[in-house]
Amino acid sequence: MRFQVFKDGNVVDSFEPCGAYLFGTDGISVRRARIAFKKGYVECVRPNLETAGLALLWPVEGFGRIMLPTTCLPERKRPYNLNVEITRAKLMQITNRREDWSFFDNIEGMEEVSRESQNLFVDAIQNIQDPARASKLADESLKRAMVYSEKLAVRQGKSLFDKRRQNHGFGRGCLGCRIEPNLIIKPAYFERLLEAFNAVTVPINWARIESRQGHYDFSEVDPCIKMLSRRKLVLSAGPLLRFSADHLPDWLLRSGMGFEKIREMAYQFVSKVVSRYCGVFHRWYAISGLNTHNQFNFNFEQILEMTRAANMAVRAAGSRAVRVIEVSCPWGEYYATTPGSIPPFVYMDMVVQSGTSFDAFGLQVRFGKDESGMHLRDMMQISSVLDCFAPVSKPLHVTGVEVPSEAGNGAFDANTAGMWRDPWNQTRQSQWLERFYRIALSKPFVEAVNYGNFGGGNGGAVAHSGLLTDTLEPKESFKALKQLHLSMVKR
């Protein structure tokens, strides 16, 4: 399957398919697929002949660089026009979302934009035998479709958000933030935290706490707990277990232990932490990202067993707090290239069907890095993937939101990681977060949204993603979230 790539009506001679992956009709990414750009074409080689779609970071004039998919297409000798197919998929998504949301009201000033987008796409299809002209028409159609889709998602989110607020549907601790324990002793850091949030997440890292087997060091966490527990805050902690190299002690990584022994070590660690802080925390992120971070290559049964054991250990240690299972990368791009991984919704279904005792799912939504799962998505895609959690029998906590406030380098370069409208700056970060929060909290099954990096240090997964500067001055995003929080709790 080949896609011809155009820019301004001309075939491009250089193009980097950033974040590219193939996916099937079930939305699950295709393994053992090869994607490369050669002589004006993105060539996709896959292991079977089933229909598939291509998703990749795509430039849209006036809107930025966004991860966008095509529809699922059959294999054929004649190349597809990538510009046309991406536009086709976006227009189909708009139609489907309007039906799913029963949102048929006109959006002031936008209906003409919608009609123009549709008419331009019809012209593109009518000129499909002239690929250059078709691509230009499709590009113009996509520019309008992206603006319209964002307005639609934001309007639908705002409508439901306002209704939820009027009905006092937001619980205590619905807006929170992850902190860095070593900064909590700084008065400016602590004061700004209390100024904006009434929910705080304290990170727990097995590698730091048990750097030597059987020896536990809580010197970083204890002072933090002492300060926070004096305030009327909703406190969360975790992840207690995360099977990525940066969260696992070196002695465990080098040990060569089998699954049974690793599970025993993990159970002991969780029990030690929870029993120490039992009664302090209201939420425990018992296990995080095992759908994608699987350092020891656990099989399906072992992944389920480790998930179950983590939640059992929390309860056995005497805590009655909410137990959350965190899921990473909701679009599942990683599944195409990461051995031992499981598609996110398959993992969730497995956990629910297995009868594992827990209270909520957590979802990490981080954008701004050239890494699988972290390329920027548009608001309609975000709203749509959140809707997929509605049928799940558990509440949802969005536990790790992050986007940058300035351009980065290397993996954090916006040209390869994605940008919203312009290169990232404080204003763009603030505007993006305000829209995201209203959309996420418009969903009745979303109980809380927590930002992943309060700032002032290097604790985030995305560079420059903090709400505070390095000198602990508030960014525009801090002020926006503070104002949003005040509007939610105001009676």
* pLDDT, mean of residues 234-261: 96
* pLDDT, mean of residues 326-346: 93
Q: Which of 98, 25, 87, 17 is nearest to 55 (CA)?
A: 17
Domain boundaries, the chain: 2-161, 162-489
In which band, very low, low, confident or very high, does the pLDDT at 104 lie, cut at 50, 70 and 90?
low
In which band, very low, low, confident or very high, does the pLDDT at 106 lie, cut at 50, 70 and 90?
low
Residue 129 has pLDDT above 70, yes or no: yes
In which band, very low, low, confident or very high, does the pLDDT at 196 lie, cut at 50, 70 and 90?
very high
Residue 151 in 3-state DSSP?
helix
Q: How far apart are CA 60 and CA 89, in angstroms?
A: 14
* Dihedral pair phi/psi, residue 23, rounded to 5°: -140, 150
Tell me, what's the pLDDT at 29?
94
Instruction: Tell me the pLDDT tens digit for each residue of 7-56.
Output: 999 999 999 999 999 999 999 999 999 999 999 999 999 888 889 999 99
* pLDDT, mean of residues 447-474: 92
Angstrom CA distances, 52 to 35, 135, 381, stand at: 13, 21, 18
Give the start-end residues of each E strand in 182-282: 199-202, 234-237
Instruction: Tell me the pLDDT tens digit for each residue of 417-431.
Output: 999 999 999 999 999
Any idea which fold 162-489 has? TIM Barrel (3.20.20)
Distance of CA 45 to the CA centre of its chain: 28
Q: How far apart are CA 387 and CA 391, in angstroms?
A: 8
* pLDDT, mean of residues 242-248: 96
* pLDDT, mean of residues 434-442: 96
Tell me, what's the pLDDT at 160?
93
Tell me, what's the pLDDT at 102?
81
* pLDDT, mean of residues 204-233: 94
For residues 29 and 10, is the Cβ–Cβ distance under 8 A? no
In which band, very low, low, confident or very high, does the pLDDT at 161 lie, cut at 50, 70 and 90?
very high
Residue 105 has pLDDT above 80, yes or no: no
Tell me, what's the pLDDT at 230?
86
For residues 425 and 406, is the Cβ–Cβ distance under 8 A? yes
Q: How far apart are the first and last CA of the chain?
A: 57
Tell me, what's the pLDDT at 489?
76
Tell me, what's the pLDDT at 491?
52
Tell me, what's the pLDDT at 326?
97
Q: Which tokens belong to 312?
A: 């059992």
Instruction: Tell me the pLDDT tens digit for each residue of 50-98.
Output: 899 999 999 999 999 999 999 999 999 999 999 999 999 999 999 999 8
Other beta carbons within 10 Å of 65: 21
Mean pLDDT, the chain, integer:
94
Q: How far apart are CA 148 and CA 108, in angstroms?
A: 11
Q: What is the pTM of this model?
A: 0.94
Tell me, what's the pLDDT at 37?
96
Tell me, what's the pLDDT at 183?
92
Residue 205 has pLDDT above 80, yes or no: yes
Residue 458 has pLDDT above 90, yes or no: no
Q: Which tokens belong to 225?
A: 């707990």
Tell me, what's the pLDDT at 279?
87
Q: Which strands make up the sheet holding 21-23, listed edge to edge?
A: 21-23, 53-60, 64-69, 419-420
Q: How far apart are CA 64 and CA 4, in angstroms?
A: 21
Max Cα distance, the chain (Å): 71
Tell me, what's the pLDDT at 319?
87
Tell me, what's the pLDDT at 78?
94
Angstrom CA distances, 112 to 93, 109, 235, stand at: 18, 7, 48
Q: Which tokens belong to 371?
A: 């890494």
Q: How far apart are CA 403 and CA 429, in angstroms?
A: 7
Residue 212 in 3-state DSSP?
strand
Tell me, what's the pLDDT at 488?
86
Name the β-bridge partners of 202: 237
